[in-house]
Amino acid sequence: MTLGELFNLCQDIELRQAKLYASLSLLLGDVDERIARFWEQMSMEEWQHYILVDFGRSLCTDAFGIDSPVTELPNIPVQQITDALEGHERRVNSGEISLDEAFGIAIAIEGSEADAIYMYLLSIMRRAIEQSNQPYLMDRIVQVEKDMVSHVHGLVKATQRFAKDPALIRQAHRLEAEHG
């Protein structure tokens, strides 16, 4: 896999997640305005991830070349990630989804190995920043890492507040502990 292909994959995943969360806002927003705003916020944060990946692509293209091979990527089951995302999209697109099911999907998405791809790309971006001698850009990467923790924390808080299934709340807390 080349660096360009990895950036394409990550952008595709982030875009699909943003659309999925936007759909949940439309489907479940009539339950409670706070729920609609929560899903909108989740979607917006995924769009921000998408934009950062695009920023990183430019940075890494200049530093390493977009066709350079990716050699240090952990063993990530890409097909499994995309298949799971496709399954979540089908469930949401059916239009028949409960709020608890939506939280279950979000927990599964945020706990998937797609984050490992994103984190790997952040590490590549760090190296590109160091190589290009642009240390002022490092603050942007640090902020993104903080935002990722905040993103998961927001999901946990919303799950605690709105989910009815105690098992979902426990899953959300485990997810937060993993991302802590």
- 148 versus 159: the higher-pLDDT residue is 159
N- to C-terminal Cα distance for the chain? 30
pLDDT tens digits for 9-65? Answer: 999 999 999 999 999 999 998 878 999 999 999 999 999 999 989 989 999 998 989
For residue 42, what pLDDT is reported? Answer: 96
- 180 versus 96: the higher-pLDDT residue is 96
For residue 91, what pLDDT is reported? Answer: 96
Question: Measured between alpha carbons, how far is 5 from 15 in angstroms, rounded to an integer?
Answer: 15
Q: Residue 158 is inside which H or E element, if any?
A: helix 138-162
For residue 118, what pLDDT is reported? Answer: 85
**What confidence category does residue 78 fall into, taking pLDDT thresholds of 50, 70 and 90?**
confident
Report the number of distinct structural domains present in the chain.
Answer: 1
Does residue 142 carry a pLDDT above 80? yes
> What is the span of the domain harbouring residue 49?
3-179
- Residue pair 69/26 in contact by the 8 Å Cβ criterion: no
| CATH for 72 | 1.20.1260
For residue 180, what pLDDT is reported? Answer: 65
Does residue 146 carry a pLDDT above 90? no
pLDDT tens digits for 81-115? Answer: 999 999 999 999 999 999 999 999 999 999 988 88
For residue 8, what pLDDT is reported? Answer: 95
Question: Measured between alpha carbons, how far is 61 from 67 in angstroms, rounded to an integer?
Answer: 8
Q: Three-state SS across 5-44?
A: HHHHHHHHHHHHHHHHHHHHHHHHCCCCHHHHHHHHHHHH
